[in-house]
């Protein structure tokens, strides 16, 4: 199951490049969660998790399949105008699928605390301390206007960690080139039923369920 999550994360490099292979690819599917909907309570309640996963993420998956089918037809016809017009929908729904597939594995009922090993050393090197890192990622996530994501990413060219924000469902790697390690969804559907419009309270709570084991594994993988 987790291999399927990881594969979707790695596919975030480009949304447009693989489109020439659409003729032979299989349809995207909604990944299973590695925990129950109620497993992250009291920090994120079961109702939010069920709606977020089975409705919102499922919609991105379904729409992505529809758009890719239309794109395949446009490719077959040599209809460049339609191919171009479908790009925003590919980016939005493809990004939504990529982002959420990463997000679910970034969370765990056994999460919280602080990372260890190489990831912790990298955080201290690039942000000064874990507390500074946590404060900066929280501030960036709180500051997203409207809907979007706060991210910890890895800059492979520079060999360092970076914090970034992406609007809407823009995928981190396809937008900035950073390899995604940890994403925080700040769309209201991720927290409104429990935290109303108080995004800072949601962000304070989500640190209690961050899976540093997963984030550390992503960090180790992107350095190879």
Known binding-site residues for Mn(2+) equal 52, 100, 185, 189
Tokens of 197: 């419009």
Main-chain phi, psi angles of 175, to 5 degrees: -95, -40
Main-chain phi, psi angles of 158, to 5 degrees: -95, -10
pLDDT tens digits in sequence order for the chain, 224 residues long: 343 343 344 333 333 434 444 445 689 999 999 999 999 999 999 999 999 999 999 999 999 999 999 999 999 999 999 999 999 999 999 999 999 999 999 999 999 999 999 999 999 999 999 999 999 999 999 999 999 999 999 999 999 999 999 999 999 999 999 999 999 999 999 999 999 999 999 999 999 999 999 999 999 999 87
Known binding-site residues equal 52, 100, 185, 189
Q: Give the integer Cα–Cα distance in Å for 203 and 188.
A: 12
Return the CATH number of 44-223, one of 3.50.50.60, 3.55.40.20, 3.40.50.300, 3.40.50.720: 3.55.40.20
For 104, 171, 175, the CA distances from 14, given in Å and listed in that order, are: 21, 9, 9
Domain boundaries, the chain: 44-223
Tokens of 1: 């199951």
């Amino acid at each position: 199951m987790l291999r399927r999550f990881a594969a979707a994360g790695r596919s975030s490099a480009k949304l447009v490049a693989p489109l020439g292979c659409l003729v032979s690819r299989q349809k995207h599917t909604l990944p299973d969660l590695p925990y129950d909907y109620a497993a992250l309570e009291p920090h994120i309640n079961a109702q939010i998790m069920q709606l977020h996963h089975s409705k919102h993420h499922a919609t991105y998956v379904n729409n992505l399949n529809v758009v890719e089918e239309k794109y395949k037809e446009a490719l077959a016809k040599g209809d460049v105008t339609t191919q171009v017009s479908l790009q925003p929908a590919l980016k939005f729904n493809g990004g939504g699928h990529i982002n959420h597939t990463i997000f679910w594995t970034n969370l765990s009922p056994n999460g919280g605390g602080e990372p260890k090993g190489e990831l912790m050393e990298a955080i201290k090197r690039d942000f000064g301390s874990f507390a500074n890192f946590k404060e900066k990622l929280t501030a960036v996530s709180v500051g997203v206007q409207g809907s979007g994501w706060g991210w910890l990413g890895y800059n492979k060219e520079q060999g360092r960690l970076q914090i970034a924000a992406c609007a809407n469902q823009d995928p981190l790697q396809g937008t900035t080139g950073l390899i995604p390690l940890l994403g925080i969804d700040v769309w209201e559907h991720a927290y409104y039923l429990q935290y109303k419009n108080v995004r800072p309270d949601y962000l304070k709570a989500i640190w209690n369920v961050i899976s540093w084991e997963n984030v550390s594994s992503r960090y180790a993988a992107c350095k190879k």
